[in-house]
Amino acid sequence: ASTPVKYKRVVLKLSGEVLRGKGSETIDAAILERMCEQVKEIHDLGVQVCVVIGGGNIFRGLQGAKRGVDRTTGDYMGMLATVINGLAIMDCLEKMGVKTRVQSAIPMNQIAEPFIMRRAMRHLEKGRVVIFVAGTGNPYFSTDTTAALRASELHADIIMKATKVDGIYDKDPKKHADAVKYEELTFIDALKQRLNVMDSTAFSLCLDNNVPILVFNLDDEHAIRKAVAGDKIGTLVHG
Ligand code: UDP
């Protein structure tokens, strides 16, 4: 029997950090493979999948700024980091037999297609996983904002934000033993309680365009499959 699918077109936001293992490798091969297996799983269910990949395992503009790198330059370094991660995901998925296309917000024609919304749509309809790299192409933004933007443009049903925590809590679960996890929240509740779901630019794009966000832990077994099936996993933020 096939798993029923609740979300037909999803933007999967993977932070660069999830690619880093416990060791010193910036891209842990075993983690990459497990992650791609999960993407393949929902792709095989017929879900249209866009991946927005971060770069935090390699470089973040803000982290560079602390060391004296100009913020804009640092942000471009961060955007290039996402390209490296995106190519790793492309390579891994293709070896598993999943057809992919990489689209870059900064043109680099030898490496990736340029981002063209209507072409991305076509790839999705043909069953290709589209991997968006180089963020929005602009400094001072994040890959969370990229996910919110692409989800809005492509009319995705949801942003699934895979992280290392299993959802949104009323306070930091690392500091407070009595922290309580929310199963779901409205955008307004999240704002009122000043919960950090995403950075404020990303969050307000989702709010304005009514794109639900699911925050969940990628380490749970079949986490992505459960997420697209609408199972209780992580925290759902909605309108
Ligand atoms: N970045 C940017 N504009 C964008 C997306 C990303 O300047 O539209 C830069 C920014 O410096 C950011 C870095 O790329 O810190 C890596 O992205 P992000 O921090 O979102 O990655 P993640 O935390 O998801 O790994």
Q: What is the pLDDT of residues 188-235, one digit of tens each?
A: 999 999 998 899 999 999 999 999 999 999 998 899 999 999 999 999
| Within-domain flag for 47 | yes
Distance CA 84, CA 79 (A): 9
**pLDDT at residue 4 in the model:** 82
- Domain extent for 218: 9-238
Whole-number percent of the chain with pLDDT over 90: 91
**pLDDT at residue 65 in the model:** 93
| Within-domain flag for 1 | no
| Within-domain flag for 4 | no
| Within-domain flag for 218 | yes
In the block, which residue shows the tokens 């309580």? 180
Residue length of the chain: 239
Whole-number Å distance, alpha carbon 65 to ligand 1 midpoint, is 13
Query: 23-30 long-range contacts, Cβ below 8 Å, gap at least 24?
Result: 26/57, 26/58, 27/57, 27/84, 27/85, 27/88
Question: Is 143 assigned a ligand-binding role in the annotation?
Answer: yes
| Within-domain flag for 164 | yes
Question: Is 139 assigned a ligand-binding role in the annotation?
Answer: yes
| Within-domain flag for 2 | no
Q: What is the CATH number of the domain that holds 151?
A: 3.40.1160.10
Residues 236, 182 contacting (CB under 8 angstroms) = no
**pLDDT at residue 81 in the model:** 98
| Within-domain flag for 131 | yes
Q: Which two tokens stand for residue 166?
A: 């299993």
Q: Going by DSSP bridges, is the β-strand pair 184-186/235-238 parallel, antiparallel, or unpaired?
A: parallel
Pick out the chain residues at pLDDT < 70.
1-3
For atom 23 of ligand 1, the residue with the nearest CA is: 56
Distance CA 91, CA 142 (A): 24
**pLDDT at residue 2 in the model:** 60
Whole-number Å distance, alpha carbon 134 to ligand 1 midpoint, is 8
Question: What's the whole-model pTM score?
Answer: 0.96
List residues bridging with 236 in a β-sheet.
184, 214
Distance CA 65, CA 73 (A): 9
